[in-house]
Structure 1
């Protein structure tokens, strides 16, 4: 995949009713690599991958044109990308349509992700304990990338640095010590609150509420993990769940550290 393929790739994602803009595809390609399938000079399939350190990777943006489905194209793209990734554990988020293929390729379900989006009209105040604070990211916040890696069980330093250039970031602190963060960036139809990393659900909610208040009555999207148990809470705020995917791993699944976990993904494709 090259940048010249991105307009046609975006057309494939539009066929799937996915919201990705050309800028979103450009960001994904900047962060990783992709493969395309062509027939008679026309792009009919894609897959992308992102490596996180020497032992972890994610795969996403697996798309085959409806007119070319059922011909093994998706499997060939996946098999070639898996070969390129070598012995890394591979994580992906599977739609129901892609689930049978991924199971045949050795992926095992490890969790679920719930996609919430819409416009929140009334944003409640966040509940913060004494000593807690939400503030903008500063130059001294050099530990956040490593913090993200420990929470996700992957080396996410390069991803954090790239997303930070595309996003606004706020930090959750306890007694002035950074303990979590949340980013906000343009994505799809509006704004994506992603990722959200926090020590517990209360601090994760405070981070999310901060950005929802900033973008009140604007279209926002957030993809939360089932483990974080925020889906019902987002429903109650007026940000409905519009779909879900199954998180799957091929190889030993990543393990988050004890200090924090990922409550909302950077993107379904990136994990």
Structure 2
């Protein structure tokens, strides 16, 4: 059912049948998302497509976390119809669906003017690092600390760490990511204090997310996965203030791009137990 029609642009719900066309749009923008990545995103949330003459010319997706927060992303308009207000129509339609929640997004430079007009405020910067994984030395752990594979009994503790690190309920996201990911847990004196996932994404592998109690713990988790993927293409999206940027560049994973983290509404307040050192994905936060 059409949601809106302006200048032959029709907005409607995204379905699985739109995945191929959506992936083509992201390829046009030189984004790395595979059809499998789009399928995962759609399974976690909802999407709207813009059609013109029966062809998909734009997309947007949204994801709800708990009762109070949501993220949106995959805001794409094909080059041929940019400047015709399609992005604004998609944003208005998705924000209406997410009304009553704080909405977070990571904005490209091209999208910043629109998001500012809509009332989004800047929170910080996310930096994208990627390259073929170099040979890396393992980070020295503290006494009583170790990195081990995730076990069946770890789920509840990791959900709590993720909620603490983000200030949001991330159970549904973690549950969706784990079946197609490998996971390791940082423990101190047998207590879970952090974790990191590795999964296929785009051109290779994403180390995403990385949740840790401090910088040293984050480095230990990241080097574990880099050490298993030497020579494979790896990507990690970090908060600029994480303290990881220069370290990653020195290891051989340079920064290749950055986006601006923004919020419409009161930003979530993380707890003290853990912090987000790497995002699950730029779209998901």
Fold-level match, TM-score > 0.5?
yes
In structure 2, the residue matched to 1:10 is 23
Q: How does 1:1-271 map to 2 (within 5 A)?
A: 1-141=14-154, 142-271=156-285
What's the TM-score once normalised by structure 1's chain length?
0.99
Structure 2 counterpart SS, 1:227: helix
In the alignment, the residues of structure 2 paired with residue 20 and residue 205 of structure 1 have an alpha-carbon distance, to the nearest angstrom, of 26
Counterpart-to-counterpart distance in 1, 2:138 and 2:195: 18
**Partner SS for 2:153:** coil
The C-alpha deviation readout for 1:189-236, integer Å capped at 9, x for no partner, is: 000000000000000000000000000111000000112111111000
How far apart in 2 are the matches of 1:248 and 1:95?
A: 11
Which sections of structure 1, spanning at least 5 residues, go unmatched?
none
**How many Å separate the matches in 2 of 1:121 and 1:223?**
17
1:109-159 CA distances to partner (integer Å, 9 max, x unpaired)? 001100000013321121201000000000110211121011101110010
Q: Which residue in the other structure is 2:4 paired with?
A: none
Mapped partners of 1:129, 1:121: distance in 2: 24
Moved over 6 A (4+): none
Kindly tell me the number of residue pairs found equivalent between the two proteins: 271
- Alpha-carbon separation, structure 2, partners of 1:93 and 1:5: 23
Q: Distance in 1 between matches of 2:283 and 2:243?
A: 21
Distance, in Å, in 2 between the alignment partners of 1:227 and 1:121 is 23
Conservation of the 8 A alpha-carbon contact between 2:134 and 2:226: no
TM-score of the two chains, using structure 2 as the length reference: 0.94
Partner of 2:3: none
Query: Any unmatched runs of 5+ in structure 2?
Result: 1-13
